[in-house]
Amino acid sequence: MISPDLMIDIRTKRVYETANPDDGLRVLVDRLWPRGMTKERMQADLWLKDLAPSSELRKWFGHDRSRWESFKLRYFLELDAIPQVVARLLDETAQGRLTLLFSAQDLECNQAVALREYLLPYLSTSAERDPQV
């Protein structure tokens, strides 16, 4: 359970950017391992590929910004279907800052940004959603 006194900070960052101690817990949320990236260079603490969009959804989206809103709705439905994995990530946020790592070139329309948006209501003390259900 997340303490209501804890300030949760979820950030997103491309895997190709340099790791920083301020990143907190670094979690890769891509289904596929990023091209040309080594474990040592990425310095991810976790790889939760089950939190990534399905291959079908990823291919359908194809980083087409005109599909962004539909992508998020479909992705959120996929996340709703795996509450235990979402709960695992939420448990990790209790430790402090969380950085969601992604490999997409688009910094604004990617699964990490969407996942952050999905998680924020869970972290609000007024949120009614419960990923354990």
- Tens of pLDDT along 16-67? 999 999 999 999 999 999 999 999 999 999 999 999 999 999 999 999 999 9
Predicted pLDDT of residue 4: 47
Q: What percent of the chain has pLDDT over 90?
A: 75
| Domain membership flag for residue 106 | yes
pLDDT over 70 (residue 133): no
| Domain membership flag for residue 114 | yes
| Domain membership flag for residue 96 | yes
Residue 48 and residue 29 in contact, taking contact as beta carbons nearer than 8 Å: yes
Predicted pLDDT of residue 127: 41
Predicted pLDDT of residue 9: 86
* Pairing of the two strands 10-14 and 98-102: parallel
pLDDT band at 125; cut points 50, 70, 90: very low
Residue 27 and residue 45 in contact, taking contact as beta carbons nearer than 8 Å: yes
Predicted pLDDT of residue 126: 35
Range of the domain at 79: 10-123
Model confidence, pTM: 0.86
Predicted pLDDT of residue 110: 97
What is the overall mean pLDDT for the chain?
A: 88
**What is the total count of domains within the chain?**
1
| Domain membership flag for residue 37 | yes
Question: Quick one: which of 74, 72, 86 has its CA closest to 131?
Answer: 86
